[in-house]
Amino acid sequence: MSGSQATTDGDLGQVLASAVSRRRNFAIISHPDAGKTTLTEKLLLYGGAIQQAGAVKARGEQRKVTSDWMELEKQRGISITSTVLQFDYNAITINLLDTPGHQDFSEDTYRTLAAADNAVMLEDAAKGLEPQTRKLFEVCRMREIPIFTFINKMDRPGREPLTLLDEIESELGLTPWAVNWPIGSGEQFRGVIDRRTKEVVLFSRAERGKQASEQRLSFDDPALRELVEEELLDLAIEEMEFLEAAGAELDIEMVHAGELTPVFFGSAMTNFGVRPFLDAFLEMAQRPIARSSSDGLVDPLREGFSGFVFKLQANMDPRHRDRVAFVRICSGRFEKDMTVKHARTGKAIRLSRPQKLFGQDRAVVEDAYPGDVIGLNNPGMFSIGDTLYVGSKVEYEGIPCFSPEIFSWLRNPNPSAFKNFRKGVNELREEGAVQILYDIDESKRDPILAAVGQLQLEVVQHRLESEYGVETRLEPMGFQVARWISGGWAELEKVGRIFNCKTVRDAWNRPVLLFKNEWNLNQLREDHPELELSSVAPVVSGVEPISL
């Protein structure tokens, strides 16, 4: 028996309370190129999780060696895989849920956000809000996730800081509260003033990629006017006075409700403003929170362990052909070798080889707490959204699938490869790499791939070839819109024949209607207003999916 198992209930309560109070969990939402990799790397440096700048990228290189399909990332220069990075900083355990950078994989990001308690919205100062950030922000809003904004690349010419704040307010409906305020920008960027402490942190330019030095002095130190041009300082002060006059307060309850975003200005590349950001973030961020379940809110301090699967990934390491289910712990203490109940099937499962993952590195986990993420071997029994628990039954709200916009037959030109084709299609569906639909005519056995972005289809094809040894052909179907029918087959039958639409089945044998465009969909709505259509697949419980 491990030492931790020997603790009494009273001790466990204390251990749990202490662990939860020391945990923060977040994901970064941004548009590609805003600097997510760079910021992540700097945060890891502070946590001592990496020893040198460039290690995240080096890790990336290594990753490409360990997994074939990431070859595609290399070819395209994109980031597809999501990983979880855990590190300690100032006695706080931080779980950074990394998300793929490419928009075609936003579905993966949506799922990751389901496991996050906080989000960092990273903007490029020259670009402001960009499409991918807006899209991901909407998911945060839906889930009421607190958002902390880091405006990056202040060392380069950018947009007016007040304009950037205004954009957040007017376009996202989120009240911004600048925690620090920049003095100048671009070539004339001189540093930031902390609005709460009135401390000035001066920036001095270093060689590209090198850390800038940070000199600190008080706002009313006379030396300040010798170090910074008068007009830049006066402008910054004037703008700060304008912010004060506008009157918003840094209200932590509003931050936690996702209504107000603390904003920080800095430069990840030169490591300017990153540590103050991390310190303030840890002070203000939400701890692991109570989560909605079939039984109401589940407190993280509930002593029985519970958690849900938010991501599955096969073949992370092709040498082992393994499949990993990532579980976000929501309550209680997780212990190695514990036996848990699988809510969807009611089966008891012993979790004997739980892993902690750091990027692609793994270590066996002895115990873990709410807010943490563990990786479990998945012999095929876990699906995205599944709940695991100990004690009285808990079932967390599932994670909806987003409406696909691209549909393509997946052909297997080589019948002798059918066994591998089937295995690959089933495993990649289970992983959520793509949604699979089937023709209602059962003699047409080829699956239909349904995705959010074209690249998602290419990755599936690439992985089928490199991981399962099957070459496939995609045959685009020309549909753009999918709708589920709330009443299922019975409702559909009442309607009779529908024109300009193809009916298919999803992996849970539910009818899905495919349309060439919105116009055709609207026509159906007009003809049959009684039909309840949904763009999001209803969450499934208690049934096994159809396999190819």
User: Where do contacts with ligand G4P occur on this chain (CB under 6 A)?
Assistant: 30, 32-38, 101, 152-153, 155-156, 267-270
What is the sign of the dihedral through the CA atoms of 272, 273, 276 and 279? negative
Q: Amino acid identity, residue 48? A: G
Residue 46 or 219: the one with the smaller Cβ distance to ligand G4P is 46
Residues with Cβ within 8 Å of residue 104, at least 6 apart in sequence: 451, 452, 453, 454, 455, 456
Residue 34 or 401: the one with the smaller Cβ distance to ligand G4P is 34
Residue 36 or 510: the one with the smaller Cβ distance to ligand G4P is 36
The neighbour count for residue 320, using CB atoms within 10 Å, is: 9
DSSP secondary structure of 101-119: SSGGGHHHHHHHHHT-SEE
Contact (CB, 8 A) for 108 and 126: no
Residue 263 or 269: the one with the smaller Cβ distance to ligand G4P is 269
Measured distance CA(474)–CA(457) in Å, rounded: 8
Residue 33 or 295: the one with the smaller Cβ distance to ligand G4P is 33
Report the nearest approach of ligand G4P to the CB of residue 43 (Å).
12
Helix axes 36-46, 274-284, angle to 10 degrees: 80
Radius of gyration of the chain (CA): 25
Report the nearest approach of ligand G4P to the CB of residue 27 (Å).
13
Report the nearest approach of ligand G4P to the CB of residue 278 (Å).
15
Q: Which two tokens stand for residue 129?
A: 């809000």
Residues with Cβ within 8 Å of residue 269, at least 6 apart in sequence: 35, 38, 153, 155, 208, 209
Report the nearest approach of ligand G4P to the CB of residue 312 (Å).
24
Measured distance CA(266)–CA(154) in Å, rounded: 6
Q: In this structure, what DSSP letter does residue 536 have?
A: S
Residue 54 or 469: the one with the smaller Cβ distance to ligand G4P is 54
Residue 30 or 408: the one with the smaller Cβ distance to ligand G4P is 30
Residues with Cβ within 8 Å of residue 488, at least 6 apart in sequence: 510, 511
Report the nearest approach of ligand G4P to the CB of residue 53 (Å).
10
Residue 130 or 458: the one with the smaller Cβ distance to ligand G4P is 130
Report the nearest approach of ligand G4P to the CB of residue 120 (Å).
12
Report the nearest approach of ligand G4P to the CB of residue 99 (Å).
10
